[in-house]
Amino acid sequence: MNIPYTIEIKVLDDMEKTKVLLLEQPNITRVDINGETLTAEYIGNPQEMYTVLNALVFAEIRILMFQENKRRLEQAFLSLAHGFEEQGKFNTN
């Protein structure tokens, strides 16, 4: 199981345009718009996350913030718990 990294991005430009551009990146599996922030799921090598930022810069997107969300441990636990629950090995109630 590959737990995705979550990247939070704020831009000055059109968020829908930025979302489309992000979804064109090979290691981005999902992009949501939450208020003024784009949240992208990244499944690639964390040492190569900069390629996503490079793509935005190359497309002349004006970026205010680009950061990894540090809640990976919580995401991993919830994903594991959900998997165990589906197998009937863990009850969250």
- Quote the pLDDT of residue 81: 72
- Quote the pLDDT of residue 21: 97
Question: Domains in the chain, start-ordered, CATH in brackets?
Answer: 5-86 (3.30.70.100)
Q: Which residues contact 22 (CB under 8 A, 6 or more apart)?
A: 9, 28, 31, 38, 40, 52, 55, 56
DSSP classification of residue 2:
-
For the segment 14-22, the average pLDDT, to the nearest whole number, is 97
Secondary structure (3-state) at 66: strand
Q: Which residues contact 65 (CB under 8 A, 6 or more apart)?
A: 8, 9, 10, 37
Q: Tell whether the model's pLDDT for residue 72 goes beyond 90.
A: no
Burial of 10 (0-12, 13-18, 19+ CB in 10 A): middle
